[in-house]
Chains A and B, each alone.
Chain A
Amino acid sequence: MIFAAASLAVLAALTLAVIRALRGPTVFDRVLAANAVGTGAIMLLALLGFLTGRPEFLDIGILYALLNIIGTLAVLKFFRHGDLSHPGGEEPSDA
């Protein structure tokens, strides 16, 4: 019962985040919304696991949490340097 209500709340939050990802003016809005969607997917997985009485989905939730941060950082690095194999650090002109 409470799991169904919380699942509906997380679904509403996911809808708002997806709308922001579609409408976001800059790429950073989209990355932020994608990060929020990833967190919402973890919450929805855990809640659905409890809702159906089989909370074994939590391993997939851990996997999503780890993939989420890697994906966010990879996208940010790609849009900052234009290349994922860039060594990082500041450019000489910015120092």
Chain B
Amino acid sequence: MMAALPEIIGGLLIAIGGFFYVVGAVGIYRMPDVFTRMHAAGISDTVGAGLLLVGMMFFGGLTLVTVKLAIILGVILFTGPMATHALAQAALHAGVEPILDKKAVMRGPGIQAAPKKITKTVKRKATAAKRKPAAKVRRGRQTAAARKRRSPT
């Protein structure tokens, strides 16, 4: 037995945390629109960062280092959902439409303000996608190009 037990557990946790961190980053890179990218960012903010920090706590032992790691973990766990919530609300308020299923209807307290506009644009996008003959185009690229055309910024 070369390493002590806490270091083995900590190393395992750090390895799993690094894996989930990369998974979340790949999701941020590849997901098709803002809301799904937020969903992917949640992975690396909670599971990835959490497991990395807990794994480092096993290496730190019962010292001040562990306390600082716990403080960082608490701050990240509280502010990550806060930033995601503010981001989703700001994106909906600015008129960014999520990619929906064709029959889906957006409803909820935040989007009662302009339900007609949102459902109309979603319907128009669905029919435009149906009319387009090149249906083999990857969906993420297509909607990214469509969003660039009428981007609010």
- Asked if A62 is an interface residue, CB under 8 A from chain B, the answer is yes
In the complex the two chains form, is A42's CB within 8 Å of B17's CB?
no
* B side interface size, CB within 8 A: 52
Given A6-B18, A65-B76, A65-B79: A26 and B34 interface contact (C-beta under 8 Å): yes
B60 and A55 form a contact (CB under 8 A):
yes
**Chain B contacts of A29 at CB under 8 A?**
34, 37
Residues of A near B49 (CB, < 8 A) are: 39, 42-43
B152 touches A94 (CB 8 A): no
- Chain B residue numbers with a CB within 8 Å of A59 are 68
Interface assignment of B118: CB less than 8 Å from any CB of chain A:
no
> B68 to A62, Cβ gap below 8 A?
yes
Within the complex, the shortest CB–CB distance from B118 to chain A, in Å, comes to 13
Consensus secondary structure, chain B interface: helix
**Are B148 and A25 touching (Cβ within 8 A)?**
yes
Measured CA separation A60–B37 after assembly (Å) = 28
Cβ–Cβ < 8 Å partners of A73 in chain B:
82-83, 86
Contacts of A17 in B (CB 8 A): 25, 28-29
Say yes or no: B144 contacts A25, CB within 8 Å: yes
**Complex interface residues of chain A between 21 and 56 (CB less than 8 A to chain B):** 25-29, 31-33, 35-36, 39-40, 42-43, 46-47, 50, 55
Mind listing 14 A-B residue pairs with CB under 8 Å?
A16-B25, A16-B29, A20-B28, A26-B147, A26-B151, A28-B34, A32-B34, A36-B24, A36-B41, A55-B56, A55-B65, A62-B72, A79-B153, A80-B94
Residue numbers of B with Cβ under 8 A of A are 10-11, 14-15, 17-19, 21-22, 24-26, 28-29, 34, 37-38, 41, 44-45, 48-49, 52-53, 56, 59-60, 65, 68-69, 71-72, 75-76, 79-80, 82-83, 86-87, 90-91, 93-94, 96, 113, 144, 147-148, 151-153
